[in-house]
Amino acid sequence: MTTLNESLLIRLLTSVFLCVVMLITLSPGQASAYEPGEVLSDPVLESRARALSAELRCMVCQNQSINDSNAPLAKDLRILVRDRIVQGDTDEEVMDYVVARYGEYVLLRPRLAPHTYLLWFGPFIVLLLAAVLAVRYFRVKRPDSLAEEGTPLSEDERKRIGKLLGKPD
């Protein structure tokens, strides 16, 4: 029975992770500050530009992407991103170009580098540590010992349970 449960759990976990992979790109919030005329006529290029803009910070704002900000600087940056895309840059080249000009501060998704390892891996390290602790909790107390838990019922308690269950003593 236990092995059956475990294989089921494994299958469950696998499907969970498949869903996670599928949904990992979901991002809440659909805000924007675009003005007419900024938007590229080619919908493929425009959607690339939108995706990149969502990852770039408006430098003069408090915690807004350039998609969301109507500050002039954000508008300049939106236009810059679109210029580079129209000129045939890949997504990576556009980002490199922007970072070279404005510094890493402009990225809302910090790059994975030694100085951001703790940021990126931190949450998963916590998850792992917590999981290890939980597993140890089970190791200390084997499920086999469940049967030995507690003291047997006293005669009194047995009678009371019998009464509650409606059985005569």
Partner 1 sequence: MIPEIGHFALVLALAVAAVQTGLGLYGPALGDARLMAMTSRAASLQVILLSVSFAALTYAFVVSDFSVINVYENSHSAKPMLYKITGVWGNHEGTMLLWILILAIFGASVAGFGTNLPDSLKARVLGVQGLIGAVFTLFVVLASNPFIRLSPTPINGTDLNPLLQDPGLAFHPPFLYGGYVGLSVAFSFAAAALIEGRVDAAWARWVRPWALAAWASLTVGIALGSWWAYYELGWGGYWFWDPVENASLMPWLAATALLHSAIVVERRGALKSWTVLLAILAFSLSLLGTFLVRSGVLTSVHAFAVDPERGLFILGILIFFIGGALALYAWRAPTLKLGGLFAPVSRESALVVNNLLLTASTAAVLIGTLYPLVLEGVTGENISVGPPFFNSTFVPIILPLLLLVPFGPMLAWKRADALATAQRLYAAAIAALVVGLIALFVIEGSPILAAAGLAIATWLVAGAFVEIAERVKLWRGPFAQSMNRLKGLPRSAWGTAIAHAGVGVLVFGVVGVTAGAQERVVLMQAGERIEIGPYELTFEGVSLASGPNYEADRGSFTVRRGGETVGMLTPEKRFYPVARMPTTEAAIRTTILDDVYVVLGDPQPGASAGQTQWIVRAYHNPLQPLVWVGCIVMVLGSIISLSDRRLRVGAPARKKPANSTPIVDGASA
Task: Please report whether residue 101 would count as binding partner 1 according to CB under 8 A.
Answer: no
44 binds partner 1 (CB under 8 A): no
Task: Tell whether residue 35 is a contact of partner 1 (CB under 8 A).
Answer: yes
- Toward partner 1, which CB reaches closer, 36 or 88? 36
Nearest to 54 by CA among 77, 37, 21, 38: 77
Q: Which two tokens stand for residue 12?
A: 């469950």
Could you tell me which stretch among 71-79, 80-88, 109-117, 152-160 binds partner 1 (CB under 8 A)?
109-117
DSSP class of 151: P
- Distances in whole angstroms, Cα of residue 65 to Cα of each of 73, 106, 146: 11, 9, 54
Interacting residues of 60 by C-beta distance below 8 A, sequence separation 6+: 71, 73, 74
Torsions phi, psi for 167 (to 5 deg)? -95, 145
* Piece of 75-83, 87-95, 106-114, 154-162 that binds partner 1 (CB under 8 A): 106-114
* Residue 65 binds to partner 1 (criterion: CB under 8 A): yes
Near partner 1 by CB under 8 A: residue from 14, 42, 76, 110: 110
Buried/exposed 6-23: b ≥16 CB within 10 Å, e otherwise: eeeeeeeeeeeeeeeeee
CA distance 78 to 72: 10
Please tell me whether residue 109 binds partner 1 under the rule CB under 8 A.
yes
Could you list the residues that contact partner 1 (CB under 8 A)?
Answer: 1, 4-5, 8-9, 12-13, 16-17, 19-20, 22-36, 39, 54-55, 57, 62-65, 68, 103-110, 115-116, 118-120, 122-124, 126-127, 130-131, 134, 137-138, 141, 143, 145-146, 149, 164
